[in-house]
Amino acid sequence: MPLTISTALKEGRERLAAAGEDPGGDAQVWLAHVLGRPRAGLLAHPEDELTPEALASYEAGLARLESGEPLAYLLGEWEFYGLMLHVSPAVLIPRPETELLVETGLTWLAAHPGRRAAADVGTGSGCIPVALAANCPDLQVWAGDISPEALAVAAANVARHGLAERVHMLHSDLMAALPGPYDVITANLPYIPAARLPDLPVSRWEPALALGGGEDGLRFIEPFLQQAQVRLASGGLLLAEIDASLEGDVLRLAGGLWPEAAIEVRPDLSGLPRLLVVQT
């Protein structure tokens, strides 16, 4: 018997009940993607029947979601700061916590109209430079990553949003290919301490290269800060996302490198220390 949209969504919700925080929503998003319809269209026509091909695709996706695979990787795209971005298992899925970094950067840029050279280190999907450049029309950003696969995803996002003339992709180990100086330097580097990483669901699916921060979580953050110290223009801004457990360490490191700067760690939406802010 053919399956209707209503029945398919009920099945999806039940199958995903133990696999995600929003099983009903995930089932809706996935079925809408399979059918090429907006979610509202599903709810408006719950009696419509799925073709055998659509049902097979829907069921295959549900199986992947049941296993814990992130919905973003099935879709091949994800929303960040109001922009749809390509994603793949080669990059981290952009998260709301990182929007705090973008918002902080855009606020500073609006208050400093003459400062328009930026660098993003460990750019991954390119979500940070794309969001910054899309919302600051005269900003020039140089974005680097050590992973060629990640750079390919980032370049696709730059092209998707028509930013190729202002967002420049570079293969770079931290800031090795980013000489500067820059008015703004941003980074969301791997920062999860090694002992915690195996216990986190994110480690099953998202790239280890973009997650693990070594034994103390500072394997990349410490050399990044040292390199940024000689590349950040006077009167510039540095923003770096960190693990909450690293607050004291990064404040100590940044304070030693920029003794005259205004330095703080701002909380994310959950109240956890998340964003290192250095204003020189």
129-146 pLDDT tens trace: 999 999 999 999 999 999
Write out residues in the chain with pLDDT < 70, as ranges: 1
Nearest CA to 153 out of 133, 123, 181 is that of 123
Convert the pLDDT of each residue in 149-168 to its tens digit.
999 999 999 999 999 999 99
Cite the DSSP H helix spans in the chain: 5-15, 23-35, 39-44, 52-66, 71-75, 96-111, 127-135, 148-160, 202-205, 221-229, 247-257
DSSP E strands, 45-126: 77-80, 83-86, 117-121
Distance (Å, rounded) from C-alpha 125 to C-alpha 163?
Answer: 14
CATH topology of domain 5-69: Helicase, Ruva Protein; domain 3 (1.10.8)
CB 81 within 8 A of CB 96: no
Nearest CA to 181 out of 228, 225, 233 is that of 233
pLDDT of residue 196: 82
DSSP character at residue 209 = G
Domain 89-279 has CATH 1.10.10.10: no
Q: Tell me: cis bond preceding 201? Omega within 30 of 0 counts.
A: no
CB 49 within 8 A of CB 3: yes
Answer yes or no: same fold for 5-69 and 89-279. no
Return the structure tokens found at 41: 């269209």
CB 62 within 8 A of CB 199: no
Distance (Å, rounded) from C-alpha 274 to C-alpha 266?
Answer: 6
pLDDT of residue 191: 86
What pTM, to 2 d.p., does this model score?
0.93
Share of the chain above pLDDT 90, in %: 86
Domain ranges of the chain: 5-69, 89-279
pLDDT of residue 231: 98
Q: Are strands 140-145 and 117-121 parallel, antiparallel or unpaired?
A: parallel
The partner residues of 184 in beta bridges, in order of sequence, read 118, 237
pLDDT of residue 1: 57
CB 122 within 8 A of CB 174: yes
